[in-house]
Amino acid sequence: MGAQKPSPAHRAGLAGLLTSPAVVGLATAGLGALAYATLIERNLFTLREATLPVLEPGTPSLKILHISDAHMMPNQRLKARWIAELDRLDPDLVVNTGDNLSHPRAVPTVVQAYDRLLSRPGFFVFGSNDYFGPKPKNPFQYFDKDHKRSGGAPLPWRDMRSAFVERGWVDLTHVRHEVEINGVRIAAAGVDDPHIKRDRYETIGGPPNPLAHLRLGVVHSPEPRVLDRFADDGYDLVLAGHTHGGQLCLPFYGALVTNCELDRSRVKGPSQWGAHMKLHVSAGIGTSPWAPARFCCRPEATLLTLVPVKNPEMGSDHGVSHSEASVG
């Protein structure tokens, strides 16, 4: 017995529903939001600024440019030009928290974009997308923190590392390093990407130099288990990336996911971690080529102005201001 065909009246009712103003309006809004997220907002590169009281009393202020998650492709000239213009901010130190690559031939584009910044003091660590290329994923996997992770094709991270180190940036992967910049003595340390369980905190474990004016931790993915170790060892500030700020956010709600164990309230910007440590998470500059969209979460770099704490026992709340940087 064949399936019963819908009656003319049923077909007419269905057609009327699909062409009703409410359905048409909803579809139009959805397509408009998708076009905005993929064509406009993901290219609205923004400079954020934040002032963090984390230095020892009496220390001169220090400007750090925090960049992360460029996810560079060889042909992304607009992004590369915007990154190059960040040198005009005249930072004292550049900190790059990983995920620079999204293509096997992207290293020259990355080095060209960072060219002038590589002439400044800099620290860096790697993210998973420096080691492995991105792959298409089911977006609902991001709501399952325990989903199986697999990387794509290997990327030329060693070539990128060589270029960075040759120009003077310091690879903080499982390294402790001390340097003085403009009268500020910095004790820095970093770990490899905890998102893919490459971190070995024990290689840098223990309190940093108590004579340092700034004790700085650097990591790609801000996993709480690693942040707790930095805080327990007495670090003043940890810089991280990875979250993309949620990438697709809702107005008046914020990020839906963080893509790690970090809670949504800390998905981007400065926050307090424990009694004495500050955390800054960059929402990042790029996206995966398989998910080229941002909504209510512009791509960003951050200029952090570090100043002395007002009270070394109590610390001080951070102040935050925002602005946009022009694209050259």
pLDDT at 316: 42
Strands 300-308 and 237-240: unpaired
Quote the percentage of the chain above a pLDDT of 70: 81
Q: Locate tokens 């107005």: which residue?
A: 251
CA distances from 324 to 46, 117, 226, 295, 303 (A): 5, 19, 32, 17, 11
For residue 321, pLDDT over 50 is answered with no
Strands 46-55 and 319-322: antiparallel
Q: What tens digit of pLDDT does each residue of 165-212 get?
A: 999 999 999 999 999 999 999 999 999 999 999 999 999 999 999 999
Would you kindly state where each structural domain of the chain is located, as residue ranges?
A: 44-322
**For residue 31, what are its two tokens?**
């397509």
Q: Report d(CA 132, CA 151) in Å as an integer.
A: 5
Task: Map residue 223 onto helix, strand or coil.
Answer: coil
Regarding predicted confidence, which is higher, 325 or 169? 169
Q: What tens digit of pLDDT does each residue of 262-300 get?
A: 999 999 999 999 999 999 999 999 999 999 999 999 999
Query: Which ranges in the chain belong to alpha helices (H)?
Result: 8-18, 21-35, 77-85, 107-113, 128-131, 157-167, 224-233
Q: Report d(CA 201, CA 208) in Å as an integer.
A: 13
Tell me the one-letter amino acid at 234.
Answer: G
44-322 topology per CATH = Purple Acid Phosphatase; chain A, domain 2 (3.60.21)
Q: What's the rounded mean pLDDT across residues 70-96?
A: 98
DSSP for 47-70, please give it. EEEEEEEEEPTTPPPEEEEEE---
